[in-house]
Amino acid sequence: MRRARLTAVALAVVLSATACTGSDPEPGPTTTGAQPTSSAPADDGSVVVEVEHLGAPVELTVHPVQVVGEHALLTVDYTMGDDAPAGTNLSIAALLRNAGSFLNVGKLRLVDPEGMRAWEVGRDGGTSVSTSGDALNLAPGGSVTSEAFFAAPDATSVDVLFPYFGLVEDVPVVTGQDVGTTPEDLGATATAVYPEGGVEVFSVAYDGAASTQVQAEDATVTLASDVLFATDVSDLTPEAGAAVDAAAAQIAAAAQEGEVVVTGHTDDVGSDDYNLALSDRRAASVAARLGQTLGGGFTLRTEGKGETEPVASGTSPEARAANRRVEVRFTVAQAGQALEVTTGDVAVPEPTGPVGTAGSPVQVDVAGATWAVSATEVRRSGPFLVGSLEIERVSSGTGAPVGLFGDFAEGRLLSRGLSSTTLTAGAYGATLLGEGSYLYPADYLRGDADGDDARGVLADQFVDAPLSQGESVTVTVLWPDSGQDTVTVDAQGRFRITDVPVEG
């Protein structure tokens, strides 16, 4: 057993035992606790983290992930010390549950930072393949255990991302051990799905003219057609040619020599045949210009998709603008890197909300409540910058910080396939400011998983804890490593926190 660094302070949920029986309990509030401390080592490879919240010491023992066939079992013990305040009662299953569900630990995630993959707890319809139906109430001197099944990770170790508790790193993955629990014991049937996906990093140029997505070694740069072409035109203007030149220089600096695929897309206005031909011509125009800068080490291939592969649903002007695009796909030299591609010099935008610094919280008014937001830590961990943001309710009343990080998608962000619930209730809108782009939290495609979100987000995806005045929670965000020594956290239209030092 060994101690790992926990990258966010635990959330204290105070619930009475009766509150866990009559209705869906809400995760409750916390105040900032002590930093994690070491535990005595043991021989089973478990990772132990000790935290203190509301004066109650709580120890998390994250056991090695046990692989059996196609599935893997994650077991976590939660122990509260005898010296916790009398009457303290923490419902683990209310804290870690899937949004919209009752009692489970369905929001745990496994992350392989080296292989850039993420795994979610299995689901069978609306049921989580985990300890469910039991509140897992934790009282002074007590201990409870949760179990959850995932698809088996192809890794020797993984990090475990907890809602509110943060990122527990380097948990061993083991095989060949006897496992006393099966997915069927936790309610799974043959129809259960076990979501997993490759982790992607995503950035959007400040002017919205380009976006960049990197998954492992595969990169896609998306150029807005409205920046390059007039309506129904496939020839680049001199200004558009300069924009492609700027993008090409940045692509050449990041790419491995080899094939570059240029794909044209249109919106749904016009006939299928017309749009297909237009997308072909636009792809050819961009490829011809790219080739002048990329040089002989690259081969270019073009294709047109017309209106057949929209990234945004609907027929609104915003959706159609997002679908009019040219994509440039290539292989990067450094897998999973934070890649920014712009179509020219773009300045850091002026803040659109109150501004704070690393040493002073910024106060934000959202939906009739006032919140204080602090960036308590940002540090390097593998390919990520792991951030901890503390949110305190300043105003009177009780409620969750819904909308604190934003509440809708626009522009190139429409392509991510995230629901309004995730955009409103989670921390996805907490970006880092790069040289010319907003760097979003890492995310991953969820495969065959049910639900409204095509993607999962490597951040607290549902910050739904109701807080009263003076109470706070800490959320965790995994951003791509921008290489900066200090960073700026920006939630567009909400707040900005500057001069945050990067540790490690």
pLDDT tens by residue, 142-183? 999 999 999 999 999 999 999 888 999 999 999 988 888 999
Q: Evaluate whether 497 touches 489 at the Cβ level (below 8 Å).
A: yes
Q: Name the DSSP letter for residue 260.
A: E
pLDDT at 7 over 80: no
Q: Name the DSSP letter for residue 183.
A: G
pLDDT band at 53 (very low <50, low <70, confident <90, very high): low
Q: What is the pLDDT of residue 473?
A: 85
Q: Name the DSSP letter for residue 329.
A: E
pLDDT tens by residue, 453-480? 788 999 998 898 888 899 888 899 999 9
Ordered by where they begin, the domains of the chain are 2-194 (no CATH), 217-331 (3.30.1330.60), 355-503 (2.60.40)
Please name which of 492, 448, 442 lies closest in space to residue 213, comparing C-alpha atoms.
442
pLDDT tens by residue, 402-459? 999 988 766 667 778 787 788 888 999 999 999 999 999 999 988 765 666 788 999 9
| Torsion, CA 11, CA 15, CA 17, CA 19, rounded to 10 | -130
pLDDT at 13 over 60: no
Taking CA atoms, 253 is separated from 70, 219, 294, in Å, by: 40, 13, 9
Averaged pLDDT for residues 223-252: 94
Q: What is the pLDDT of residue 17?
A: 31
**Entry pTM:** 0.89
pLDDT at 20 over 50: no
Taking CA atoms, 92 is separated from 14, 79, 106, 130, in Å, by: 10, 11, 11, 12
Averaged pLDDT for residues 45-59: 78
pLDDT tens by residue, 337-357? 888 999 888 899 999 999 999
pLDDT band at 54 (very low <50, low <70, confident <90, very high): low
CA angle 198, 204, 209 (to 5 degrees): 130
